[in-house]
Chains A and B, each alone.
Chain A
């Protein structure tokens, strides 16, 4: 079946540190890949996405590249800020039974200290 495996936290970084959150997936077919972010007290928000191999999604300084050969979609940011403290979810989207469904990873809590 379809699944997403991502780094488990929690992770604590200092401001301006480099961030990588690993994400790999298993899917039949060609899924779209997403990173969602959940800030404290808020609902999940789409951070970035990629719909086909070698696509790079980017937003707010975060980047992730759809790597079909390694079935990965690692999230990176060169210099994190305190405001990046949140829970990050990797997800894939597939059409199953005629409807599009999201499959999430477990989420990783990031805390950035000043």
Chain B
């Protein structure tokens, strides 16, 4: 079945550095991908909607310059956390929408998430 690969699964970085997280749709072309952030014991919060070939749409309160999203191809979206700080430590999850008719009943596929720890 359709799979979304998210890499890395976990990363530790020093404060002030930047970290890139990749989200790939492996067997379908995703014109739309979503990035979520999950705090401990909290729900998944939508950060931004990533559309191939255009600028991402960010949710209110999410800093565009802090969380750079690039959706350069139909199978890849990247989230870069720039100048990371300890408060950016969190679990980041991507999902990709399969637009094909066969996926009508279940179009969203999620990555396994990335655990970011900023020291």
Against B, the Cβ 8 Å flags (1 = close, 0 = not) of A76-107 are 00000000000001000000010101111111
- Which of chain B's residues have a CB closer than 8 A to the CB of A99? 32, 49, 57
Q: What separation, in Å, do the CA atoms of A87 and B9 have in the docked complex?
A: 18
Find the A residue at minimum CB distance from B51.
A99
Determine chain B's interface SS by DSSP, over half rule: strand
Structural contact, B93 and A44, CB atoms closer than 8 A: yes
Q: Is the CB of A106 within 8 A of B42?
A: yes
Task: Assess whether B108 is in contact with A46, with CB atoms less than 8 Å apart.
Answer: yes
Q: Nearest Cβ in chain A — how far from B19, in angstroms?
A: 20
User: Number of residues in A with C-beta < 8 Å to the partner?
Assistant: 20
Q: How far, in whole Å, are A106 and B32 apart by their CA atoms in the complex?
A: 24
- Give the number of chain B interface residues (Cβ < 8 Å): 22
Chain A residue nearest to B95 in the complex (CB):
A44
Q: How many angstroms from the CA of A4 to the CA of B108 in the assembled complex?
A: 19
B49 touches A41 (CB 8 A): no
B25 to chain A, nearest CB (A): 12
A interface residues, Cβ below 8 angstroms from B: 4, 8, 36, 41-46, 49, 89, 97, 99, 101-107
Using CB atoms and an 8 Å cutoff, list the residues of chain B in contact with chain A: 4, 6, 32, 34, 36, 41-44, 46, 49, 57, 93, 95, 105-106, 108-113
